Structures are given as C-alpha cells and as structure tokens.
Chains A and B, each alone.
Chain A
Amino acid sequence: MTNSKFSRRSLLKGTAAASTGILGGTDLLQFATAWAQDAKWKPEAGAKLNVLRWKRFVVAEDEAFTAMVQAFSKATGIEVNVTNESFDDIQPKASVAANTGQGPDLVWGLHSLPHLFPDKVADLSDVADYLGKKYGGWVPAAEGTCKKDGKWIGIPVAFNGGYMNYRVKAMNDAGFKEFPKDTAGFLELCKAMKAKGTPPGFALGHATGDANAWLHWVLWSHGGYLIDKDNKVSINSAETAKSLEYCKALYETFIPGTASWNDSSNNKAFLSGELYLTSNGISIYAAAQADAAKGDAKMKAIADDMDHGLFPVGPVGKPQELQLCFPILQFKYSKVPDAGKAFIAFMMEAAQYGPWLSAAVGYLTQPLNEYEKLPFWTADAKRTVFRDCAKRSLTAAGIGQMDEKAASAIADFVVVDMYAAYCTGGADLKGAIAQAERSAKRLYR
C-alpha cells in the first residue's frame, strides 16, 4: 500500500504537481498535513466519509484523484470511501439517498443534480466563498448552475468541454487558413469541406453529450432559447426558426447517417479517417495520441493533423455554449458535515486541483479563474481552447434560471429532436417547433 501510494505520489510530483507552478514542488502529503492543521473546517473525530462520484474517462485523472483522497485520509485521519457510478446511474442513486436519508455524504454528479432536492442538500456557501476568494472567482456558469436563492447548494468542481474537432489539412484545402469565428463562416467551411470530399458530421441522434452540446449552441447562438429569463417557454420564436434553417443547411453537408449517431459514433468515424470535422470533447485527440504513442502511424498522422476550435459566435454576438458541469453536493443528513466540507475545499486547493486537472489533459476545465494559468493548458496548443469552456458556457437552462427542469429537457432531447425532425424531413419548420414547444410546456408546467 505504502509503496504504491508513494510511487503514485512521486509520479504526480514528477509529472504534474511540480510543474503547475502554483504551489511548486510541495509534497502532496506534507501539504495535506499542513493544510489539515489550519483548515477552516475541522473534521469530526473518527469521521468516515462516503463519496459517490461519476466514473472516470481518463485513467490518469482517476489516479490523481485517488492520490488526493489518500493524502487527505492520511493528513486528517478520516477514512474516505469512494464509489464510482456511470453518468446515468448517479442521479437515481443520489435521489434514493435523498429520499431515504442515508447513503453517501457527498455526491459528485452532473448538471443540475443539487436542484433536484435543494432542501435535502447542505448550504456550501462558506466553501464556495473561501475557494472563490482564493482562486480568482467563479465563472458565471458555475454560479448559475450551483446557486439557488443566493446559497450555494453544490460546488462546481469542473466542466467537461466539447468543441470543434477538425483536420487541419482538410480545412486548409477547403480554403480556410484558420477555423471560422462566426456561424456564417462556419457554414461556408462545412460546404467547402463537403465539396472537397472531406465531410463534416455532427450527431443528430440521441447522443446525450454531443448532440445536446452542439445543437444548443446552434439554438442559442441564433438567439433562440427554450425558456426565457423567467423560465417561461419561449422556443416558438423567429430566432429558433432561423437556427433551424441554419442547421438544415449544415446538415446537408454532413456525412450520411448522423441521425443515428450516439456519443461514440463521431469518435469512431473521425479516427477511421472518414470524418473531418465534428464536435466532441478532447477524447478523439487523446485516443489518437495514445495510439500514436504505441507506434500506430495512422493515428499519429491524425493526431498531428487535427486541431480544436471554439464554437463560432452567432448572430447573438457572444459565445453561447452548453458545457457539462460536474457539481459536488453534500447531503444534510451527513453526520460528518465538516469532514465533507474539508474534503471539497481540500480537493480544490491548488496543490491537489492542479495535478488532478492536469492529469485530465483537457477533458475537464476549471470553474475557478485562477486555474487558467495551469501550464498544461498551453503545453500543448491543441488543448488550449478547452481552457475557456467554462467561461464561455451558459448553464443548462440557457438564459433561464437553473432548476431540475433544465436537466429534464436535456435528458428528454427536446432541442435535439426538434432539429433532427426538421433536418431529416420528419417535420416541417412549424411542426418541429410546435412539438418542441409542447414538450417544453409539459416539463415547465
């Protein structure tokens, strides 16, 4: 145990922690011990902390997290028990815990999780204020996602960014030197790429992550929103109609079959060299790099030739993106509230957060402004766009107030189905909007 922990720690020290520049080369355990001594939250004696979290996408991220948990345990004497669950299972499990009043003390989930049972979760405003003051403040989407009636009901630990993934040569051949910054230029790029036989493709199927992300961008960048500032359904608008026309024009340039795509389809097609432009997290690039490191020449060619671009700005004139937030919450029933708060605060201190976020190599983005400076963001220029995803994101409710209904609308594919119906010819413009409006009214009744 000690050995493996030590090696993991030295690994961290050697690779990431030492290079963050924020804390220098302080040993994780030393830091943890010092931190525990003057921490604002003194864990209850003999506390045992149960944490439920989403299942990792990157091994290195998981290892850094484990090292962090072990250092915390050692410094505070608290036993921390971490359970991993897949995305879809976090919400039901957390709900059962909320209803029965027993289960994990902390739950780390997605989107609007704390808003599902706001009266069952602890007020974490003190933790949020402490971290916000120390690390340059929270991005607006973090506040929007986790605050309710002026109180923080969760702490946004990270965002999972999705951006444009493209092949540089194909873009250049299509007559573009750099990735378009506005929606009009983006449509031109797609048309030119299709004409060159290097087509783009974006998921229009029930792809929870990819389809929701890019289609909300299409909607929002044109000024259409499912709900307005007062959470009244406002999808039936001229802006929505324009965004549908825009989407259809894009769809005509796509590789066939995107209506059936799920979250992994574009990864496969891109890595096989059949797809030249799509929206995705950094996973395509990471996979290509990983295979290239194993000596796969084809993957190396793809990794070298690909890059990432921000979602272009539309008629609205500013970034309008949907990026996935990962908030952590504490249940009121927890018998060790201070241990929980200490853990969250500890986790987001530079000594831990820097190496941990660096280990996630761009899959995850900080909600605290100070961490933009982490050197790994610029160590590889192809990663850099993901640095800004939290800053550029709206909440899942768009311009509306965050509540659990926003997550329901996303889970129910209200926006995705509207575009898919219109693009594939399943409904006309009015019909597609009417169906979405009805679905939204059902949720926001």
Chain B
Amino acid sequence: MTDVTLVRETARPAMREPTQWERLRSNRDWLGFWFMVPAMGILTLFLGYPLFLGVWLSFTDTKIGRAGKFIGLENYEWLLDDRIFWLSVTNTLIYTIVASAAKFAIGLYLALLLNKHMPFKAIIRAIVLIPFIVPTVLSAIAFWWIYDSQFSIISWALRKAGWITTNINFLGDPWNARWATIFANVWRGIPFVAITLLAGLQTVSPSLYEAATLDGASGWQRFRYITYPILTPIIAVVMTFSVLFTFTDFQLIWALTRGGPVNATHLMATLSYQRAILGGNMGEGAAIATAMIPFLLFAVLVSWFGLQRRKWQQGVGND
C-alpha cells in the first residue's frame, strides 16, 4: 500500500499556482469576515437602523400617526431656549453623577466585605442581589408608597418617634424629590456594581496579598497597590454600564413622579417619552433622545481610554 502511494505521489505533475478562489477559500481573514456577518447584520438591523431612524426623526416634524417633513434643525432650535429641556439635562446630569458615584462607593465597599470569609457567604451574596432581581417597576411602586405624602412609612415612624410633626414632603418638593429618586436608583443599582466587582476581586491571586503582607504592607496599601490596580479594568466596564443605565433611566422616575413636581425630576428620557409618545410630537422627542447621544458617547470614550491603558488585557505587559 505504502509503495503504491509513493509511486502515485511522484507521478503527479508539478504544483500549479492556487487560483484566487482557492486562496480566498483558505484565507482565514475571509472566513472570519463571514463569521462576523450575522453579528453585523443583527447590530445593523437592531441597533444601527433604529439609531439612524431616531436621529433622522429629530430633523423632521413627524407626529404620531403622521409622517413628517424634513425641517432641519428646527426641533433643536426650539429646545435651545426651552427651560424645561435644560432643566431635564441638569436633572439627568445630577442624577447620573450622584447616583453613579454613590453606587460605586457603596458597591465597592460591599464587594470588599463580601470577599472576606464569613459564615453563610453564599446566602448573603444571594440576598445582596435581591434589589437587582426585583423588577424595576415593582421596586418603584414600593418606593412610591415609602415616599407617599400621606402614608409614608418613614414619615409615620418619625412622627411616632416624636421627631417630626408633619409628614416629609418626599416627592412634592423639588430637591426632596431629586434625592428620593436618586436614593431609589442607588438602592437598585448597588447589587450590579457589588457583584461584578466581587467577581473581579475573586480573580486577585492570594499570593500577591501574602507577599505584600510579608513586606509589611498595611490594609490600605494592599488595597491601593494590589486590589485597586487589578480591579481597574472591571471598574471601568462596570461604571460605564452603570453610568449608561442611570443616564437612560426611565421606569423609576415614571412610576415615582412622572417628572414632577414641576418637572424637577424629569430626565431626558422621561421628557422625550412624554413629548414623543404621550404628546405625539415624535420629531421633538427624537431630538431630545438624540441630544443624549453626545453625553453617552463621552461616557463610553472615557471608559474606552481607561481600558486602553491596561495593555495587559491584550496580552502585553502592564503599563
């Protein structure tokens, strides 16, 4: 058998040049391209197209139920001196910055606590996830009762304790309402930050801590020079998501205040919904939604450059 094969081999004519088609067929980049096509198609269809459509709508006077004409920047011109719109921008920034910072601080603290050895670790970790598991609308309704102007449990308890005489006006006063909604958002958002950071903490090799302890590092130094640098890429990812979720929050505000009192808690997302869907002015609502893009882009870029610095992720040494 072997002989026969050998004879055949030698009898074959000289190797010819592979055709373009054959080259293409064996080209790994070309194959890779085809593997990417489904993902690209899905992204284009479900992300690219709606995004483009939204931006396009913002340049038209489309109403619900009626196709619009191109009107250039008119919607944006109206928004430019619209106090309610600027109020919603300010509200969104305050809401995002304060809530994200609080979620990060408390989430990181919680993650560090949960990373320690303690009894019933698994159960406690599961419990921490509860706010995240409860559907937002349900937790928002619970908060709505907690903040109710007449039936608030907090007001009731404080009144019974004799600390206050009248109910706290949680959602009726502009600043109270802002803090109340931020608190509800933080309560809901902490588990996501905490559990993700906890996952990051688990990847830190104990030998690093051992070595640091032998070198006489304090607890703070171990966190500052070991935990924090190793955790940075995960922090960047978590905080990007957290900022994006918070910036685009809708359900919580809608269930609690619908943007009131006097628009003090209107976020760009809720104002966009109110004007586009309930008010019927799709063009203007789309303009408000489109105005969110630069802020979101900025948040993404910050974390992207944050991630870029960690070259070890691509297999290169840390910088």
| Chain A residues near B (Cβ < 8 Å) | 88, 91-92, 94-95, 98-99, 116-117, 120, 204-206, 255-262, 265, 268-269, 272, 274-275, 404, 407-408, 411-413, 417, 420-421, 424, 426-427, 435, 438-439, 442-443, 445
Contacts and interface: CB of A to CB of B under 8 A. Distances in A.
Contacts of A88: 277-278
Contact of A261 (B78, B149, B151, B279): B149
A412 B279 contact: yes
A256 B258 contact: no
Nearest to A204: B261
Interface string B169-201: 111111001000000000000000000000000
B82 A438 contact: yes
B217 to A, nearest CB: 51
Grouping DSSP codes into helix (H, G, I), strand (E, B) and loop, the A interface class, with mixed when no group exceeds half, is: helix
A261 B167 CA distance: 14
Contacts of A412: 274-275, 278-279
Contacts of B78: 442, 445
Interface in B47-94: 63-67, 78, 81-84
11 contacts: A91-B280, A95-B280, A99-B65, A204-B261, A257-B150, A257-B172, A260-B170, A268-B151, A275-B150, A411-B278, A439-B84
A424 B277 CA distance: 28
Contact of B171 (A260, A411, A439): A260
A55 to B, nearest CB: 17
A404 B66 CA distance: 11
A117 B169 CA distance: 42
B281 interface: yes
A443 B151 contact: no
Interface residues of B, number: 40
A420 B257 CA distance: 14
B253 to A, nearest CB: 10
Contacts of B263: 417
A98 B277 CA distance: 15
B166 interface: yes
B260 interface: yes
Nearest to B282: A95
Given A205-B172, A272-B150, A424 B279 contact: no
Given A258-B149, A265-B148, 14 more contacts: A91-B277, A91-B278, A95-B64, A116-B280, A205-B258, A205-B261, A256-B172, A259-B172, A262-B258, A408-B279, A413-B274, A420-B261, A426-B261, A438-B82
B66 A442 contact: no
B295 to A, nearest CB: 23
Given A116-B64, A272-B150, A439-B84, A260 B274 contact: no
B45 to A, nearest CB: 18
Nearest to A269: B150
Contacts of B281: 408, 443
Contacts of B274: 411-413
